[in-house]
Amino acid sequence: MQAIIECQNLTHYYGTRCIYTNLNFTVPKGRILGLLGKNGTGKTTTINILNGFLQPKEGNCLIFGEPSGKLSPEVKQKIALLLEGHVQYSFMNINQIEKFYSAFYPKWNKTPFYELMRKLKIAPNQKIANMSCGQRSQVALGLILAQDADLLVLDDFSMGLDPGYRRLFIDYLNEYIRSEGKTVLVTSHIIQDMERFIDDCLILDYGKILIQIPVDELLKTFRKFQFTHNENHIDWNGLDIYNPEITRNHAEFHAFSNSIDIKSLLLQSGIQFTNLTETQLTLEDAFIGLTGKY
Amino acid sequence: MVISLLAVALMLHLYLFSKMGRAFRIAGKEHVWDVIVNRNQFFFSDLRFFPLLAGTLTGLFQFIPEIIQNRLKLMLHLPLTEKRIITCTLAYGSGVTILLFLFQFAALLTGLQIHFANEIIISTVYTVLPWYLAGITAYFLCTAICIEPSWKHRLVLLLISIGLLKIFFISGFPAAYQKIIAYLPLITLIGISTVIHSVIRFKTGMQD
């Protein structure tokens, strides 16, 4: 499948602080990729590189085959950008901002924009500066729909939104993206929102990619395991598991496995256990399971 | 903001010419002429820092909201070449500044032509032109400081800007810059290149 975004060997430092080295990933056409990671793992850095507002120390990032730092106007027309905080020209009103952007985009279709504004009872002459954060997010969403871009880059779209507006944003966007076959790269701090939205997730850890996997596959194969034990110490070394934790006689860890394989793994390692349980995870649980709580 | 600056320019103009009218009435035209021609007094010194202030304020009012509200990224993502986006934005700001200056300059020349000989008018033009150039240069330097992404570099740019702008105000003597006036736009060009430097640094995400 054609790759819309291709990042090859991205390496970036702020001063001497390494953000990541040799980061490679692609976003194929028609897929929705969620970029997940704790604070400071390089999500914003990656978004800035993709948007052409940061030159990586090494490596390159291609969008529609062009280097992200030097995109032609034709390629920029194909990319809808939602900046963190739903930044817009807040001194304009609804009519003015629609007219302003329509001049730049040949595929501009104002119908979905005004439909969304009517639905939210936002008057055409209402100034963006006087709107709530939720309303501003819908203006930004309406503009993205009207632009009819092929690639949507959404940086922390849920920031500052209450659950209702988050749900509205995702439902509206989901329907549009699925029906039009758009490609999306999205980041959000609220991972439970992403579960209903993204096809693939790319989880960043400090300095590297922890995993890039379809969400369905992650939720099908990644599990939490808990058991009771009577030992003072458990040696987890050499086990292919994530973030083991022991609280008194209760132990838990995460793994891409099932209880049968884990049972034999624990026996082979000489770990005494009783009451082994396996729990299916939500995306947020899986994220914590992979990256740890702190 | 532009309207406010225009109002200030108009008020300053009225003040300068009412001051001149009063001098004519109290001391007599002959005396005023004598002071201007023989004692090299300049009658419109109060105008000296207005263009500098106007250029600075235009730059700040145009770009501070863009920086604070993070809209510069929005602007640079518009489907035009970055060169065109920056050129259009700077052309708008500097165009407004230049129009304001032209309006004030034309009003000054009109008033001068009523009362003074060509020699005095030419001397006045040579005296005030560096101030207007300082205003245009200040616009570009302020823009460069606003767009620059790092505070450390902003401070360096601020010091360079003060140094460059000081060149326009070394002497208040009438027509002091007559012989070098053709070279002063070079400082304005440095101002423009500083903006380009800041845009490149912003685009590459420089933080130090």
Three-class SS string for chain A?
Answer: CCEEEEEEEEEEEECCEEEEEEEEEEEECCCEEEEEECCCCCHHHHHHHHCCCCCCCEEEEEECCEEHHHCCHHHHHCEEEECCCCCCCCCCEHHHHHHHHHCCCCCCCHHHHHHHHHHCCCCCCCEHHHCCHHHHHHHHHHHHHHHCCCEEEEECCCCCCCHHHHHHHHHHHHHHHHHHCCEEEEECCCHHHHHCCCCEEEEEECEEEEEEEEHHHHHHHEEEEEEECCCCCCCCCCCCCEEEEEECCEEEEEEECCHHHHHHHHHHCCCCCEEEEEEECCHHHHHHHHHCCC
**Does B208 map to a domain?**
no
**Backbone dihedral angles phi then psi of residue B207, each to the nearest 5 degrees:** -120, 0
Q: Say if domain A221-291 classifies as CATH 3.30.70.
A: yes
Amino acid at position B106, single letter: A
CA pair distance A292, A242, nearest whole angstrom: 8
How high is the mean pLDDT of chain A?
90
| pLDDT for the residue B35 | 81
R_g of chain A, CA atoms, integer Å: 22
Q: Does B205 touch chain A (CB under 8 A)?
A: yes
Which one is predicted more confidently, A154 or B115? Answer: A154
Judged against a pLDDT cut of 80, whether residue A232 lies above it is answered with no
| pLDDT for the residue B206 | 83
pLDDT digits (tens, 9 = 90+) for A80-112: 999 888 888 999 999 999 999 999 999 999 998
Mean pLDDT by 10 residues, chain B (208 residues): 85 87 85 81 87 96 92 93 94 95 92 87 93 97 96 96 96 87 96 95 85
Q: Among 3.30.70.20, 3.40.50.150, 3.40.50.300, 3.30.230.10, what is the CATH number of A3-206?
A: 3.40.50.300
pLDDT digits (tens, 9 = 90+) for A166-189: 888 888 888 888 888 899 999 988
Task: Decide if A17 contacts A71 (C-beta within 8 A).
Answer: no
pLDDT digits (tens, 9 = 90+) for A45-80: 999 999 999 999 999 999 999 999 999 999 999 999
For chain A, give every domain's residue range: 3-206, 221-291
Q: Provide the number of structural domains found in chain B.
A: 1
**Does B129 map to a domain?**
yes
What's the domain range around B24? 2-203
Q: Does B118 touch chain A (CB under 8 A)?
A: no
| pLDDT for the residue B183 | 95
CA pair distance A242, A256, nearest whole angstrom: 9
**Do A79 and B81 lie within an 8 Å CB cutoff?**
no
| pLDDT for the residue A2 | 86
| pLDDT for the residue A231 | 76
Q: Does A81 touch chain B (CB under 8 A)?
A: yes
Amino acid at position A106, single letter: P
Mutate to test the interface with A, among B70, B78, B80, B84 (most CBs of A within 10 A): B78
Which one is predicted more confidently, B174 or A8? Answer: A8
Which one is predicted more confidently, A246 or A93? Answer: A93
Q: How far is CA A45 from CA A41, A53, A208, B124, B200, in A?
A: 9, 9, 13, 55, 17
B50-68 helix and B2-27 helix, angle to the nearest 10 degrees: 170
| pLDDT for the residue A170 | 87
The number of C-beta contacts closer than 8 angstroms across A and B is 54
| pLDDT for the residue A114 | 94
User: Mean per-residue pLDDT for A264-273?
Assistant: 86
Q: What is the DSSP letter of B78?
A: S
Q: Would you place residue A162 in the very low, low, confident or very high pLDDT band (cuts 50, 70, 90)?
A: confident
pLDDT digits (tens, 9 = 90+) for A38-47: 888 889 899 9
User: Mean per-residue pLDDT for A266-286?
Assistant: 89
In angstroms, the separation between the Cα of residue A279 and the nearest Cα of chain B is 43
Q: For residue B194, what is the enclosing H or E element?
A: helix B185-203
3-state secondary structure at position B152 = helix
